[in-house]
Amino acid sequence: MRDQLLEVEIQAAKFRVLEHYLLEMINQASALHPAVVIALKKFQYLPNQLKIADVTDQISLSSRRFIQVFKEEVGMTPKQFYRIQRFQNVLQLINDGEQVDWTKFALTCGYYDQAHFIHDFRAFSGLSPTVYHMNQEKQQNHVPL
């Protein structure tokens, strides 16, 4: 693409070359593997109780191959994606409510217990849930430093 842009002298033609390239990239990106599409839908609708086996039971891939395909297409493993999604759900609950019950949040969002919840929260935000809540900003994904 770089060579094509350098060959074209007219500015409008450069934009057409660039537009064509970007549209091709979008079309390629939107053609996800069917297993990934199924997994993303399941992660969205059943975020707190999903296991990789639940997805691989519905598709014709082994767990290992599914993880490989998911990582190639999404950029992270299903487990990493799931952990991030759970963390997003926790942030949404924190921002939605006045009362904070960390144990209830942990169980509602699919954590085994409060200790696992706190571990993930610190891993993603660098703060404990209580410190985050005390310094919380209006923007959900903003973590105060």
Mean pLDDT, all residues of the chain:
81
Query: 129 vs 79, 90, 134, CA distance in Å?
Result: 21, 10, 9
> CA-to-CA distance for 5 and 19, rounded, in angstroms?
11
Which residues constitute the domain of residue 121? 80-134
12 in the same domain as 23: yes
Q: How many structural domains compose the chain? A: 3
- The answer on pLDDT for 29 being more than 90 is no
In a domain, 129, yes or no: yes
38 in the same domain as 26: no
86 in the same domain as 47: no
| Residues 57-73, mean pLDDT to the nearest whole number | 89
In a domain, 142, yes or no: no
